[in-house]
Amino acid sequence: MKLYPAIDIKNGQCVRLRQGNYDDKTVYSDEPWKVAVEFEQAGAEFIHVVDLDGAREGVSANDKAVKEIVEHVKIPIEIGGGVRSLEDIEHRLSLGVSRVIVGTKALSDPDFIKTAVEHFGADKIVVGIDAKNGHVATEGWENVSSVMALDLALKMKEMGVKTIIYTDISRDGMLNGPNIEQTKAIVDETGLEIIASGGVSSIDDLRALSLINVSGVIFGKAIYEKKIDLKEAVGLFMDNRKKKKIIASIDAENETRESVLEKVSDYDTSGVDMLFIYNYSKNAKDREDFYSTLRLVRDRTDLPFMTGVFVDRLEDVKKAYYAGACKVIIDMEAISDPELLSQAVTKIGKNNVYALVNFGLNYKEETIHEIGQVCLKYLADGVGGIMVKHLAITPKIRKYLNDNYCDVIIRDALSRNSITELLELPNVSGIATNFYEGKNVFSLKKSLSGQGFDIATPLATVDFESLKTNEKGLVPVIVQDYRTNEVLMMAYMNAEAYGLTIETGRMTYFSRSRNEIWVKGETSGHYQYVKALYVDCDSDTILARVKQIGAACHTGNRSCFYTQILKTEFENDDISAVLDNVFAVIMDRKKNPREGSYTNYLFDKGIDKILKKCGEEATEIVIAAKNPDHEELRYEIADFLYHVMVLMAETGLTWTDISRELASRE
């Protein structure tokens, strides 16, 4: 989710209006460009500017202030207010802004928007829909029409618009929270890139908007009134996207499934940030086998993975995405129908579709220009970015990447180009390569960070010196399985072990008996890979959540805490434990049938009977929910969950499958 800090300009000053009332304004700066510089320094990647005088009068009225902003910052600017003609758009673009927002004209003349999109490109035109009580407001918010905002948004989609700014003017400048319900309706119904505006007053408001899948949020007064720290917000919602990633590339077309899965396991603990697994075979059976491989990958790694697959129909995109991929990379040289690109964006979302573009090492400069124009077409179709292969770094390439503000991932074997040369290119967020197979990427990341690259790597927020140690300079470490929460062992760290743990990603301790540093698993192979480190309230104990390979205890037991001293009777009602235990019983019944078992009766009758019972129990929930006494509802929900677990067992699903799917939707 992008963050767009807002600068509203009236009479050359940075101001904010309350509910769009021109007579109720607060002046925050006489020099808007200084505000823009502050936004850029806080980490903003885009600035939203409104010419309030232009919005009211219908003519560009604050060119000087806009030019000063453009001259003082490097990040792109979008501007709205008073845009009524193609000449107005051209004039605004001539000021150096990246895109222009059209508002009133969208309502009065929808065909104008179509013409503007065709003339300037969808990446240069944004439609602003300002609404009050669901109805479109125009002329600087002073007139409210009878047209519903959602209807206008759908009309704009027909006109070729890709991005809409939706502002609830009853909330704007009031700091009383955004209109989540109305904004979500437009996001869900249009499938467009929706930027929300109006009423944002806190980090919680930003979180709420991120959950309804808006592509961005515009907010201004909350920054000026110090309700939101922009730098903090950038860290929460944008920093991970900005950091440059090392991506492991796996060619699944020329590897066996076992080999692919083995490489995935190796990369899982090597320090890479993501995987790119591709198979562009046009053979239908090969593609189906590849989808099965992707599902196995999903179950065996915590790493997010992108996938590349030959797209012959929209179903190919859906299958690859539903197999667990975070992005589908479509090879534009092999796609059967270019229209599938925009269809894929509509189906699974802008940020989940990238176009793979061949920049050809031997291509001439004029060919590169043609490819660049094609890339602009892909971006107009709504893709989240491009993956570039066969890249030769030239001044023209560098300029192209700099001028076209989109996310770029470079796929490169690193035989001709160095990773530092590629990471230095504008707008490049990651390098996909097989060069680091079998290598420790943690060391690479440390080296790149030392060279000034903003690399996606965990950084410790607590120095060892700030921890309270014992007389020997040691801190106890409690080690816990990051998935099951099982306590595995307890050991000690000194400053050196602490530093090595963070640097290598492997749990490293100080042995009190041997008086030396030791890496857990170095001799046994039972490594512990860091997932998270915490310090307690007294700063004298560390909790390490780890991925444990094999047994944690030298005796061969999974945990060192296997000897029970005492136990009282108690009922474990932890939801995870209960669901796992009930599912284990169901699976045992499937494997070892018992006479008279209702569970075995369902398995014997088959899938149709199980589905019928699931449907019946769902209906019972609906009926029980109408009853003011929720005891019955509680019973029916439990009954429904039981039958769903029988269905899961019958179809081969587990709670891990379900939990991972839910986690991916956070």
Catalytic residues: 8, 130
What is the Cα–Cα distance from 104 to 186, expressed in whole angstroms?
18
Q: How far is CA 148 from CA 41, 137, 159, 343, in A?
A: 39, 10, 17, 26
H/E stretch holding 648 reads helix 630-651
The answer to whether residues 73 and 47 touch, using CB atoms and an 8 Å cutoff, is yes
DSSP state of 45: S
Q: What separation in angstroms does the CA of 474 have from each of 499, 560, 607?
A: 13, 20, 58
For residue 34, give the amino acid letter: K
Helix (H/G/I), strand (E/B), else coil: 556: coil
User: What is d(CA 426, CA 125) in angstroms, rounded to the nearest whole number?
Assistant: 23
| Whole-angstrom distance, CA of residue 53 vs CA of residue 468 | 60
Structure tokens at 47: 């600035």
Residues 6+ apart with CB under 8 A from 643: 602, 610, 613, 614, 617
Q: What angle do CA 249, 456, 406 make, to 5 degrees?
A: 75
Q: Is 478 exposed, middle or buried (0-12, 13-18, 19+ CB in 10 A)?
A: middle
Q: Report the C-alpha gap between 50 and 358 in whole angstroms.
A: 39
Tokens 């009133």 belong to which residue? 104
Q: Please, is 128 exposed, middle or buried when counting C-beta atoms within 10 Å of its C-beta (0-12, 13-18, 19+)? A: buried
Side-chain-side CA neighbours of 151 within 13 Å: the count stands at 8
User: Tokens 């000034």, residue?
Assistant: 452
φ/ψ region of 235 (left if φ > 0, alpha if ψ in -120 to 50, else beta) reads alpha
Q: How far is CA 181 from CA 104, 134, 177, 350, in A?
A: 23, 11, 11, 22
Residue 487, H or E segment: strand 487-493
Name the CA radius of gyration of the chain, rounded: 28
Listed residue (371, 352, 267) closest to 306, CA to CA: 352
